[in-house]
Structure formats: C-alpha cells, structure tokens
Structure 1
Amino acid sequence: MSIVEHAVPPLSLQPGQLLARGAARHLVSHGFACVEELVPTRGLRVDVMALGPKGEIWVVECKSSRADYMSDSKWRGYLEWADRFFWAVDSDFPTELLPDDSGLIIADAYGGEIIRMGPESRLAAARRKVMVQKFAFHAARRLHLLRDPDMHPQWD
C-alpha cells in the first residue's frame, strides 16, 4: 500500500482542516513545503507552517467561521514564530473581521489564492534554525507514521 493510499479523504476532514489543505496546496504551487498542526512552542499549535524555497517561514491560521475566529485568542502568539502570518478563510467568511496588518488567503479544500500578503517580520537566525529543525522533524515524523501507522513513537 502506498503512502497516498493512507491519506485521509477530504470528506472526513473538519472545515478548518479543509481550509488548511487548500491553503497548503496553494503554497506548494509557489514552491513551499507545508506541514499542518505544528507546535512551535508549548501551548501553541499552528494550522499550517510553510517553509519556502529561500528558507522563509510562513504561518497560516485557518478560520472556518466567525465564531471560530472570535473564540481564538492565541493567534498573536504565532507572530513571533514566522516571517509572515496569514489567515485562510473561505469565500463566505466576513474578512472585514480580520486585521489589515496580516495576510489573507481565500481557500477551499482544493486550493486557494493569496489575496493580501502578510507583512514581513524576519525571524532571528537562532529562532529560524529552531523552526527549520522543528519543521523537518515534524515532517519526517508524519511521513514515518504514514508509512508505519501501527508504530507508537515516544517522540512527544
């Protein structure tokens, strides 16, 4: 059985996960590698972290509804872990709720489009190194678990 055959079908994903899938697909089309649900530090979990072809790190927070956005108080904590920050929402989301000083991606389960580029705030070299290592570790762990789903790692 191939890794693709282990993939979760889109119909079994939650609305925010569908947005993450579409946003990641769009970023991949721009040369980024993406992982979902990455923990940059204890207490925070970003929906999508993207590593660009020049080593840039973008964070995408997915919001499936007004209530989902209004209940999120952690998103500002993500800013210090990325060079750029984006919201990913669907075409029906009231985008006027989102801060103007952040990026915006309109997405669905199959793709997306960057509507507004998030402002750049370059990470310090030491922080970037830590995040690239976390990204690589997380991506490798995900790949390993796809290949061997019965394995019970002691990584966490």
Structure 2
Amino acid sequence: MTEPALKIDGRQSPTALALQRGVLRHLAALGLMGIPEFCLASGRRADITAIDLKGEITIIEIKSSVTDFRTDVKWPEYRFHCDRLFFAVTPDFPTEILPDDVGILVGDAFGAEMLRPAPAHPLPAATRKAMLIRLARAGAGRLSLLYDPELRGLGEL
C-alpha cells in the first residue's frame, strides 16, 4: 500500500508556504477550516479559502513580497467568491501599501495575528451555495486522496 501524503503544489515560495501554515493555524483557532490552493469557478486559485460554522466564506491572499503584491492584478476578482477578503503578509511587509478595503493578517509558519478585520460583503445566495458545494467536494476529494493517492477522476481540487 502506498504511503498517504498530500502533494505540495510547488508554485509557492518557502515564505508563502510558511505563511500558509501559520494562517491555517490561526483560522483553525478561530473555528474556520481552510483549504489551500482552492480552485474557484472562475479558474483562479485562491491561496486559502476558509469556511466558518455559519457557512461564511473567507479568502486569504498570501503576499510573500512587495513585488508579489504589486504584480498581482487578479486579487480583486476574489471578492466575487467570498464574504471577506484578507491579505496575509510577513511581519516585515509594509502594510500601509495594502488597500484599505481588505483585512490584514500578519504571520509566520507558527501562527498569524489579525492586524485589521476584513469588511463583510455578503455573497448572493446562489453563489454561496455553489461555493459551499465546491468547498465540500474539494475537501472530500483531498481526504480521499489521503486514503488512496492513486485515485483518479477527481479533477481540480
């Protein structure tokens, strides 16, 4: 039997992977369950998409450097897929360059802290339902891969 393991995507820098780990820990402590590298219906990949007990969806966009932030033009599209949008950055990141209408998390590999809450922009009911189904299927699919790494037919998780 093959040893179960999740595959690392391979596109993230060591800084981004460390932030991902710390942010996932922070979210879990708040009762939110996050899925890294979640594929949205638009085809974009959100760094972390999380859901709380009420079914509200939060997207966290990890910015590992100022250059990463300045060259990214896709993040405003994430608003169409979540109730709240955050940037997660390292402690040395100049947060004053981030837009005022997103939340800010500052973290490292061991945790994160909310510097600024994200304003709520509630999803339409149909979009929420579609996102909840997509999140549930992605979570179940990734769990299935832990049990059978050779499983086929799961598509983009």
TM-score (structure 1 length as normaliser):
0.89
The residue aligned with 2:81 is 81
Equivalent residue pairs, number: 152
The residue aligned with 1:113 is 113
Query: C-alpha distance in 1, partners of 2:148/2:7?
Result: 15
The residue aligned with 1:134 is 134
Please report how far the alpha carbon of residue 80 of structure 1 lies from its aligned counterpart in structure 2 after TM superposition. Answer: 1.1
Query: C-alpha distance in 2, partners of 1:13/1:99?
Result: 23
Query: C-alpha distance in 1, partners of 2:24/2:41?
Result: 21
Aligned residue type for 1:24 = L
The residue aligned with 2:35 is 35
Secondary structure in 2 matching 1:61 = strand
The residue aligned with 2:44 is 44
Secondary structure in 1 matching 2:107 = strand
Please give the root-mean-square deviation of Cα atoms over the aligned residues, in Å: 2.1
Please report how far the alpha carbon of residue 152 of structure 1 lies from its aligned counterpart in structure 2 after TM superposition. Answer: 3.0
Query: C-alpha distance in 2, partners of 1:94/1:43?
Result: 30
Please report how far the alpha carbon of residue 7 of structure 1 lies from its aligned counterpart in structure 2 after TM superposition. Answer: 5.5
After superposing the two structures, state which structure 1 stretch, 12-21 or 125-134, moved more: 12-21
Please report how far the alpha carbon of residue 54 of structure 1 lies from its aligned counterpart in structure 2 after TM superposition. Answer: 1.1
Query: C-alpha distance in 1, partners of 2:123/2:49?
Result: 14
Secondary structure in 2 matching 1:69 = helix
Query: C-alpha distance in 2, partners of 1:117/1:127?
Result: 23
Unpaired segments of 5 or more residues in structure 2?
none
Q: Which runs of 4+ in 1 moved over 6 A?
A: none
After superposing the two structures, state which structure 1 stretch, 144-153 or 61-70, moved more: 144-153
- Share of identical aligned residues, percent? 40
The residue aligned with 1:18 is 18
TM-score (structure 2 length as normaliser):
0.88
Please report how far the alpha carbon of residue 110 of structure 1 lies from its aligned counterpart in structure 2 after TM superposition. Answer: 1.4
Unpaired segments of 5 or more residues in structure 1?
none
